Amino acid sequence: MDTSAPSRRAVLRWGAGTAAALAAAPALTACGEAVGAARTTRQAPTRRGQKVKLVFWTWVPMQKTVDLWNRTHPDIQVEMQTIPANVQGGYQKMHSSLTAGNPPDLAQVEYHELPGFMLVNGLTNLSDYGADELRDSYVPWQWQQGVFDGKVYTVPQASGPMGLFYRRDLFAKWGIETPTTWAEFEQAARVVKARGNGARLCAFAPNQPTWFAAMCWQRGARWVRTEGDTWIADMDNDLSREVADYWERMVRDDLVFVEPDMSSAWYKHVQTGKIAAWVGPQWGDALLRGNAPGTAGKWRVALLPQWKAGQNASANWGGSSTAILQGTRHPREALRFAHWINTDRKAVDLNISVGYGWPAATGIFRGSALDKPDPFFGGQRYNDVFTVSDRTIDTSWKWSPTTDADFAQLQDAFGASIAGDGSLAGSLAIAQKRTVDNLLAKGLKARSAR
């Protein structure tokens, strides 16, 4: 047992007055149980003229960006290695590398995963290497995603403000105005079912609890909070149940396809016009462009429908940081690369071209590859929509350190509901109870909100 570290039962407290400033990371060990990184970060000395080699794990195909860095920074060479973008693949590999003591120097880690990495001491305290000086280069709420107990642990990369991608040609064919409320969205779905010859407005994806969380986020719900040293799970709240009941009705009335998005079946429906809209994140533009090129010029983007007319609320789906994992021997060099890859204009443009997301760097949108009319979207300056969306995200949403397990269990409950065992709203109660169990299993204090 590591008696020099704080108790593992210490909560990851939310910093007062910040968007998502998590605090004190739990200990590396608990009595009789070794967890977390097998070695800690230490800066290795380098001789003049010595080349430093860094390894970077990511699922975004940023090889051209890394090549640009390597050409312009001969003293620090980066090897990019592609990993799967999922818990069972990429994150499992990261945690295994930490436990084995052979982690990469840098890795792409989504914002909702950061508390879980902090729980096992998986991230390097970058404040020790000058990261605080970089704060003003980034959008404040994204910067705060990697701040714990006032210390910086990651460099923000990109987020996913939400919008409505829709087929303007199909909407015109069926006489549908762009929906501005969820009630209008449901009515549009009924029109598509009646007139669309087997088409549906969109799909409900029971495999995407993160997407469903974004829907509840927009409604104003909050799924987790802390009171003192106790985590409060609150997924089964009135606002989230309202969202669940809405999509339950859409499924029950056969107004949507029920299928995983970003799957072969979903892409085929998108390609053939059987799906006319997608409630998705800004980084979804690359998915549509890359997988449905035959629909070029037919898509447009609008703001999310609102729950009440006149509201202006959005949400975020996704978002990643460039993390420097615990155990690197070159934290200063890794920080230099992480900052460059997320703020250099040429680098960001290259990243944007491969589906990087909405940049975290302050002010970089204007003049970037995003800041222009796009032929795929009929010449629309569609990212102006996401500029508005990004400004209207309620940044008080917070993540649990057990998000992976929580969402896996919510996904299972959704699957059972779709199969006829229970309801989507009932799945929230199941997930809330299991979230408390997950937190308790990590040695944290936790309870349900009700």
Amino acid, res. 241: R
Provide the 8-state DSSP code for 14: B
Cross-strand bridge partners of residue 221: none
**Residue 250 predicted with pLDDT over 50:** yes
The answer to whether the beta carbons of residues 108 and 114 sit under 8 Å apart is: no
pLDDT at 278: 98
Two tokens, residue 127: 């404040």
pLDDT of res. 35: 54
Domain ranges for the chain, please list them: 29-159+317-391, 160-315+397-448
DSSP state at residue 293: G
The CATH class of 29-159+317-391 is: alpha beta
Three-class SS of 389-447: HHHCECCCCCCCCCHHHHHHHHHHHHHHHHCCCCCHHHHHHHHHHHHHHHHHHCCCEEE
**Please, are residues 382 and 303 in contact by the beta-carbon 8 Å criterion?**
no
Distance CA 11, CA 443 (A): 9
CATH number of 160-315+397-448: 3.40.190.10
CA pair distance 337, 52, nearest whole angstrom: 12
Per-residue pLDDT, 87: 66
Predicted confidence (pLDDT) at residue 10 exceeds the cutoff of 50: no
In contact, 21 and 144? CB cutoff 8 Å: yes
CA distance 139 to 363: 8
For 320-361, how does the pLDDT look when each residue is reduced to its tens digit (9 = 90+)? 999 999 999 999 999 999 999 999 999 999 998 888 889 999
Greater model confidence, 47 or 266 = 266
Contact 37, 122 (CB under 8 A): yes
Q: Do domains 29-159+317-391 and 160-315+397-448 have the same CATH topology?
A: yes
Q: How far is the C-alpha of 375 from the C-alpha of 162, rounded, in Å?
A: 21
Query: CA torsion 137→303→214→123, rounded to 10°?
Result: -10
Sheet of 230-233, strands arranged across: 224-227, 230-233, 445-448
Q: What is the pLDDT of residues 81-132, one digit of tens each?
A: 999 987 667 999 999 999 999 999 999 999 999 999 999 999 999 999 999 9
If you search the block for the tokens 């762009």, which residue do you land on? 178
227 exposed, middle or buried (CB, 10 Å; 0-12, 13-18, 19+)?
exposed
Contact status, residue 22 vs residue 148, Cβ threshold 8 Å: yes
Q: What is the pLDDT of residue 88?
A: 67
Q: What pLDDT is attached to residue 354?
A: 87
Residue 356's pLDDT is 85
Give the SS3 label for residue 11. coil
Burial of 428 from C-beta contacts in 10 A (0-12 / 13-18 / 19+): buried
Residue type, 389: S
Summarize pLDDT for 181-223 with one digit per residue, the tens: 999 999 999 999 999 999 999 999 999 999 999 999 999 999 9
Q: What is the pLDDT of residues 13-64, one digit of tens each?
A: 433 323 333 333 332 223 223 457 889 999 999 888 789 999 999 999 999 9
Distance, CA of 429 to CA of 434 (rounded, Å): 9
Q: What is the pTM of this model?
A: 0.88
